Amino acid sequence: SVETLGSASVICTDKTGTLTRSEMTIERVLMPSGSSRFEGVGYEPRGQVVHGGEMDTRDLHAELVRLIGAGSLAGNAQLYQESDGSWVVQGDPTEAAFLVAERKLGTQDERQRRFERLAEIPFSSERKMMSVIVRDQDAGNRRLLVSKGAPDVLLERCSYARVGADVVPMSPAIRARALADVASLSDAALRTLAVAYRELAADEDRDDAPALERDLIFLGTVGIIDPPRPEAAQAIDAARQAGIRVIMITGDHPRTAQRIAADLGIIEAGGAVLTGPELDRLDAAALSAAVDKTSVYARVAPVHKLRIVDALQARGHVVAMTGDGVNDAPALKSADIGVAMGVTGTEVTKEAGKMILADDNFATIVAAVREGRGILDNIRKFLRYLLSSNMGEVMTVFFGVLLAPLLGLSSGGALVMPLLATQILWINLITDSGPALAMGVDPHDEGVMQSPPRRPDERVIDGRMWRGVLETGLVMAVATLLALDMMLPGGLIEGDASMDVARTAAFTVLVLAQLFNAFATRSETRSVLSHLLDNGWMWMAVVVGVVLQVLVVEWSWLGRAFGTVPLTAGQWMWCVLLASSVLWWTELRKWALRRRDARVVSATVVA
């Protein structure tokens, strides 16, 4: 999952709570007879109510109380105050926005006393509305149907409108004004909900609930502010620099989605938005073409998410998809990496996803992409280090045996091994443990989010890494065998030391070369001097390795166990110098790779 997330080329994300703070607050209310504005944000019910630019208009205030009370009835959220004075919401934040507004009006107790809930027609992504049946105990126990939902959906079911104290037919002028109000609220990046009601006749059966949602009396539309998370725009920009395309999929009004997406930098102002009904009219070929150029989808149902994911994957993208509802599970399953919401997500969604987003924050997804890329990068460092170091040991023994007569390793026709078995085990103990583990916690390269996503067919160990492994292993073997040859008599370079001294020097060169190699393999192209002091664990592992190597050479008790003898200061100097050849070689190779990569980028830009 981490590797897949690090390779994601598209992130499909919901808007509410992921790109925004999910602190729904009713800011504006537009009614057939006027408008009102609530001050204050968040769940604390504090803030004045302004009517049409004046502090109080009695008739308009009564109409506002009726609308907000109806919206509070048609919901299941709860708002309460903790012992520390903070206000907490349980349930849908959108429904809680009505409760907060109602407390600002100070009418919540009257509404709870007066109305008794009898039945509910629940919200669904297909209906885009919900209704409740209540009994008005102050009006002879008459039954009322109260509905709230998407304005375009609810207005289709409204035959009347409440204008002040009168109920009038829904004329074309009133309907046009209501739709214009929705557009103005959406253009201001406000989420819109309409509220309506009607009185039920005595013979209307509440069990036939969906059929009751007709001939409603329109009360007005609320504009709910859900400010973008301050870190969301930065995260989207970071994703774009990493070659990742961000797609916003929401059930909100298209204009609201368009405005929020433009504010966050997902699209330019006035960019294209596809809606659910428009998606339904597209065949597979048309949808495949649309997903390449459309980054905002509005008024969508969960089934549309699945179609979008499938179309993106068919275009070769690695898709990460977020979701929270039960109906989002198929899309999460189908996506390459399904990200379930940890706060608002259902258990079904969490089971369907491969990853759970603990804070429901889009910026955390991008941080996880960075972490995924960094982890994969560290795995590649780990493999590059271990393979090249072990290749050095293999080549040392192989070429030591193959070139034994030239190096002076044959004595009286008998072959003398360049290294003892216990020495090879010691090398693996020192170099394959501490430095290799420290590689796994190496700080992530600052350029990890500046490169395009890894292709799905790209190997972890590619051809360039194999060439680097073989070249580095060969340099280690040459340096180790050169130490042998310099000290042994009868080789290419005439020496006068004993076999024990020469083997100890070769043994030390190979250990030190691998410790130098730990720094060299931290990056395939970046100089070893860059961020040299960032990884304290690496320095600790290398220092411990050097101390242990000095002990095994200079301490006679360990020397007897590992076949070593003490070295002179001059011999130690030669060992360090020869071992450092790994650094010089890798620095030269990195310089050549950087120049080649720069030429490739330059050629691509010109093309």
Distance CA 501, CA 571 (A): 9
State the maximum Cα–Cα separation within the chain, in Å, rounded to a whole number: 119
Q: Annotated catalytic sites, by residue? A: 14
Residues 157 and 159: their CA atoms lie apart, in Å, by 7
Number of helices (H), then strands (E), belonging to the chain: the values are: 24, 21
- CA gap 300, 187 in Å, rounded: 19
Residue 203 CA to residue 375 CA, distance in Å, equals 66
Say how far apart CA 65 and CA 70 lie, in whole Å: 8
Which residues are CB-contacts of 125 (< 8 A; sequence separation ≥ 6)?
251, 301, 302, 325, 327
Both tokens assigned to 149: 């939902």
User: Who contacts 375 (Cβ-Cβ below 8 Å, separation ≥6)?
Assistant: 2, 3, 6
Q: At what angle do helices 499-520 and 536-554 cross, to 10 degrees?
A: 180
User: What is the 3 state secondary structure string of 241-279?
Assistant: HCCCEEEEECCCCHHHHHHHHHHHCCCCCCCCCEEHHHH
What is the phi/psi pair of residue 320, to 5°? -105, 130
- The 10 Å Cβ neighbour count of residue 280 is 11
Q: How far from chain centre, in Å, is Cα 481? A: 49
Residue type, 112: Q
